[in-house]
Each structure stands twice: as structure tokens, then as C-alpha cells.
Chain A
């Protein structure tokens, strides 16, 4: 997987940055499973393109002028880890937010099939390690 997987993830981010939703979703499997931070109280899986849209709308809708920037993406044990920074302002308060986030992607045949989120690279690597042991 690997270089191809990394390229797919980079292309998906690039499409998102250019507000090209069709191009982004073309790189996401229709059966994608998306999960937010595992320590969230209401953590659950979001399924398919509709689920991804719902998850994104919920999170992005919390902020004004939300944006995300891909910092790096690399291959780990056949998965793609991607580090990104997000920023925005609270939609009610305007309090600025800046945060790093690490994603773990599973890419299969050119599309993202699984998408997970972690607060830190360490947490993401621990999850990847746990996957390998399972």
C-alpha cells in the first residue's frame, strides 16, 4: 500500500482544501467507516459518505472559519498516518482554537476505507500497534 496510500490521502486533503467535494469523496470508499477520538464519550462509527458528511458537519459546524492543514503523511505498517493542524474560532464565543490531530487511514484499491482520529501521534501509533497485535 504505502506510497499509493499516502498519495491518496494527500490528494483527498488537497481536494478538500480546494473545496472540491466530489474529488475528495471520489477518494473515499462508499463503505468507509469513520471514527472520531476514541476517548470521546459519544464515540461511534460513522458509515459511508453520508456518515462522513454528518461527522464533518457536526465538527466543523462548531467553529467559525474552521480550516485544516495537512502537515505530513507517511506509511506505517500498511496504514497511512497523517498529522494535521486545525484552527477556527468558537461559533458562540469566538475563542480561537488551534489543535493538532493525527489521522490513521486504511487505503484499499485507491480509496480510503477506514478513517480514525487521535489527539496525538503517540496515541495513533499505539492504536496501530494494538491493531497489529489483535
Chain B
């Protein structure tokens, strides 16, 4: 008897893409696990000695968990380690834009979460 294989299609949350004025595109996934939400809330509440650092770390966490692709000058970055490194090396303007994108994306997809 031939083994019967069933292939189950994996549900995938829709992705959203956001472009800046220069045509660079950030693509974010439309789902966030309960564990990531919890970690985000804890990070945001974080270090009472530096609210700014806590907020920035929460932004970085969201970037790490949500961004799946960053296309810069038509060249895509998709590996997570490189995405995060590129964010850390981003200019103040790029970081500000990425934060705005995360804020907009969260308002759209996760309205119950505190915006970054």
C-alpha cells in the first residue's frame, strides 16, 4: 500500500509593503505571536532608568519580529541577521522612517497593541 502523504498548506499571514521617498521598500508580516507581543510589552515597559532606551529596544524588537524584507536601491535584504544589522547601521532618517512604518503597520494590524 502506497503511503499516502497529505500535504497541509501552511497558513501565512499577509505581508504589507511600505515605500519611502527614494523607493526603498520595507515589507512586514501581518502576524505577531502572543509570545512576541508579551516580550514587546515587557521591553517597552523595560528599564525605568532610561525610557528612551526601553522604547528604542521595543522598536528594534518589533523590527526583528515583523520585517521580512528591506529593499534598498533595488537590492533586497532578507536574512534576519543582516536586516537587524542594517537597521542598527541605519541613518537617523532611515531609522525614523522605519519607526513610522512600524507604527503605521501596528495600528493597522495590531490595534490592541501600544504603538511604538
Residues in chain A within 8 A of chain B (CB atoms): 37-41, 43, 59, 62-63, 86, 90-97, 99-100, 119-120
Whether the Cβ atoms of B75 and A94 lie closer than 8 Å is yes
Option from B53, B56, B61, B81 in Cβ contact (under 8 Å) with A62: B81
Taking A95-B72, A95-B86, A99-B91 as contacts, is the C-beta distance between A41 and B77 under 8 angstroms? no
Whether the Cβ atoms of B57 and A40 lie closer than 8 Å is yes
- If over half of B's interface residues share one DSSP class (helix, strand or loop), that class is named, otherwise mixed; here it is helix
List B72-94 residues whose CB lies under 8 Å from chain A: 72-73, 75-79, 81-82, 85-86, 88-92
Residues in chain B within 8 A of chain A (CB atoms): 43, 50, 52-53, 56-57, 59-61, 64, 72-73, 75-79, 81-82, 85-86, 88-92, 95
Q: Tell me the number of A-to-B contacts counted with CB atoms below 8 Å.
A: 59
Bound state CA distance, A99 and B94, in angstroms? 11
Bound state CA distance, A38 and B85, in angstroms? 14
